[in-house]
Structure 1
Amino acid sequence: MDRFWGYLSAIIVAILFGVWFTLDKILLGYLHPLALAAMVYTLASIFLFLIRLSPLHPHILEIIHRESKVEIHISRRNYITLFLTAIFGAVIAPALYLNGLNQITAVNAALLTNVEILFIILLGIFFLKEKVKPKDIVGFAFLLLGAIFLSTNNLQDLSFDQNLVGSLLVVGSCFFWSMDTTLTKFLSNKRDIFFITGLKTGIGGLILFIISFFMGLSFKLPLDMVPLLLFIGLVCMSFSIVLIYLAIREIGSTRTGSIFSTSSLFGALIAFIVLGEPLKATQLLFGVLMFVGILILYKDGNVKNGTKRDYET
């Protein structure tokens, strides 16, 4: 699998998450955010393990690994890393995001997810020892400015009310998803990708189910909403979690993260079309400003030190 498939995988993930962001808003009218996250991640885990046990599994692995060097052995350290990615990306992040989404519009939530790429870059600077150029400061400023204006309704709402709390929860989820993306880099070269992704989503789903059970949350959902839940769990979540690993392996975590941030645009547009939520010109303006920040940060590659090998084939 060459770079083209890495970029394509990242774009498909962005689209799938954009759809997921919007459809979750519908299901939140019937389920608590934690109960919804538990069901989605558990469904994804079951589906991924079914693929692994199916006769098609060896053929699928042959296709997705045909041009890549992969490792068969999974060490104890790998399992620790996998557990951390499950806690960060399949428990804390979705719990924060869905609770935030429950308090603000899907459009604003989708646009706010742009801030994830800022966290990914900061993690690269402090943990992967990437260097910062003067132009990077401008990119950071654009991302922060866009996030602040979207969080505070164009600075009209600076009080600590429900709308601002919801926005901050979404921003917090972006931080934990960025931790997940950064750590996933160390697992993306493993051959048994369906086992790894199935275990990750399974750990997340189990923990969320336990928390939901002790909170006494309901898992009842109208029958006409079940197909929507199945689509989110079996299509949006299952395929995206596998494709994220493939994208990170081929083009690196930071480039995958930058492309993934376009899910906010897909999410906002789908929320506007499907849910009829308003898409104001100012929201588009600051959304575009954040995208400009991303372009500034990644112009000319921005390949430095520890992350250079992310981009090698």
Structure 2
Amino acid sequence: MSSKRTGIISAMSAAILFGASTPMAKMLLVDVSPWLLAGLFYFGSGLGLTVVRFVRGSKGDELVRRDWPWMLGAVAAGGIAGPVLLMWGLAGTSASATSLLLNAEGVFTALLAWYVFRENFDLRIALGMVAIVVGAVVLSWSGGIDVQSPWPVFAILAACLCWGIDNNLTRKVSLSDPFQIAAIKGLVAGATNVCLAMIVGTAIPSAGTLALSGIVGFLGYGISLVLFVMALRELGTARAGAYFSTAPFVGAIIAVPLLGDPLTPALVLAGGLMAIGVWLHMSERHAHAHEHQPLEHSHVHAHADGHHGHEHDHSPDGPHIHKHLHEATRHTHPHYPDEHHRHNH
């Protein structure tokens, strides 16, 4: 399976799992406050992934010293600052306005990837991103925005910027163990949200509700984030983020049979726009002569991918991990802004 196909499947699977958590969250909100529920989702993901890491054992691709500045930056932005800013913003805006404003995360993620981290894009990719974001806006538009003060709006937009920074910094460590990355982010974000909810006097729900919240968080936030990290390493930040931005549509579709929500013209239009955007990304073909500079690093790899032809004392059959050297080379083949194709254009 090509790295692009692997990345697309990972990103879309992440979107499906995260999108499916939305109608489940609506059911749980009957008994749990939004702030506490966000914390339970995150903490359930972090705790569940920690157990998974213990059971599966070390694969040798854990974070190393040079990864930690990027990882700590991602955790601080997305796991601490983002949730705090969002909750502050939620206190002064309606749910419909918040849903609309949260679409800014995909925009900030792409803009940072393109203009700050210098990730390659062309008109086709930009149009695909626009179609997906416009589809998300159509889906969340309620005909008006009820805002009493501009500061909550700025807080929500700042939260989206924090998550955009988080996504781009996480891409820098995406060759490391995705279970470790997602577990750390889940535990930090979970602890942050739960503590804040307790500070404002939120009531603790029943044990059954706590357990269900943890399970939904493990799948919809934890496993989803693991898959998203895998997509980052194969597709780059903006492309992975674009596929993941279809999650609200997935949640809306699931809510039709699960919660009895109507199949509205807005839902159909949003689905059509997102389908166009996804098609523009999936049908991209980017190929030109490019040069790889010498690079030594360690990550899980297989020799069949065309970029890992180094010699071994023995011939491994499948994916394996060790420190290896990429010699300088120049060649032409279809590629994407993955971790081995960060060259300038």
Task: Report the TM range for the smaller structure's normalisation.
Answer: 0.7 to 0.9
Name the structure with the higher helix share: 1
Q: Give the aligned partner of residue 188 of structure 1.
A: 174
Percent sequence identity is: 25
Q: Which moved more, 1:34-43 or 1:126-135?
A: 126-135
Q: Give the aligned partner of residue 259 of structure 1.
A: 243
Task: Give the gaps of 5 or more residues in structure 2.
Answer: 291-334
Q: Give the aligned partner of residue 64 of structure 2.
A: 74
Q: Give the aligned partner of residue 178 of structure 1.
A: 164
CA contact (8 A) 2:89 2:151 kept: no
For residue 258 of structure 2, the aligned residue among 274, 277, 302 is 274
Q: Give the aligned partner of residue 57 of structure 1.
A: 57
CA distance in 1, matches of 2:139, 2:154: 10
Q: Residues 245 and 135 (structure 1 numbering): CA distance in 2 closer, same or farther, change over 3 Å? A: closer
CA distance in 1, matches of 2:88, 2:180: 26
Q: Shift in Å at residue 204 of structure 1?
A: 1.6
Q: Residues 2 and 113 (structure 1 numbering): CA distance in 2 closer, same or farther, change over 3 Å? A: farther
CA distance in 1, matches of 2:39, 2:181: 18
Aligned to 1:217, what secondary structure does the other structure show?
Answer: coil
CA contact (8 A) 2:246 2:274 kept: no
Q: Shift in Å at residue 206 of structure 1?
A: 2.0
CA distance in 2, matches of 1:269, 1:36: 22
Q: Shift in Å at residue 141 of structure 1?
A: 5.4
CA distance in 1, matches of 2:283, 2:165: 23
Q: Give the aligned partner of residue 160 of structure 1.
A: 147
CA distance in 2, matches of 1:89, 1:311: 21
TM-score w.r.t. length of structure 2: 0.68
CA contact (8 A) 1:7 1:256 kept: yes
Deviations 1:54-110 (A, max 9, x none): 3x324xx4xxxxxxxx855612x52232222223333454563898699547xx94x
Alignment length (residue pairs): 294
The letter of the residue matching 1:210 is C
Higher-Rg structure is 2
CA distance in 2, matches of 1:243, 1:147: 21
CA distance in 2, matches of 1:94, 1:235: 19
**How much is the aligned-residue C-alpha RMSD, in angstroms?**
4.1
CA distance in 2, matches of 1:137, 1:260: 15
Q: Give the aligned partner of residue 19 of structure 1.
A: 20
Aligned to 2:46, what secondary structure does the other structure show?
Answer: helix
Q: Residues 295 and 116 (structure 1 numbering): CA distance in 2 closer, same or farther, change over 3 Å? A: farther
Q: Shift in Å at residue 184 of structure 1?
A: 0.9
For residue 202 of structure 2, the aligned residue among 217, 239, 258 is 217
CA distance in 1, matches of 2:125, 2:201: 47
Q: Residues 227 and 273 (structure 1 numbering): CA distance in 2 closer, same or farther, change over 3 Å? A: farther
Aligned to 2:209, what secondary structure does the other structure show?
Answer: helix
Task: Give the gaps of 5 or more residues in structure 1.
Answer: 62-69
CA contact (8 A) 1:34 1:98 kept: no
Q: Give the aligned partner of residue 66 of structure 1.
A: none
Name the structure with the higher strand share: 2
Q: Shift in Å at residue 256 of structure 1?
A: 1.7
The letter of the residue matching 1:265 is F
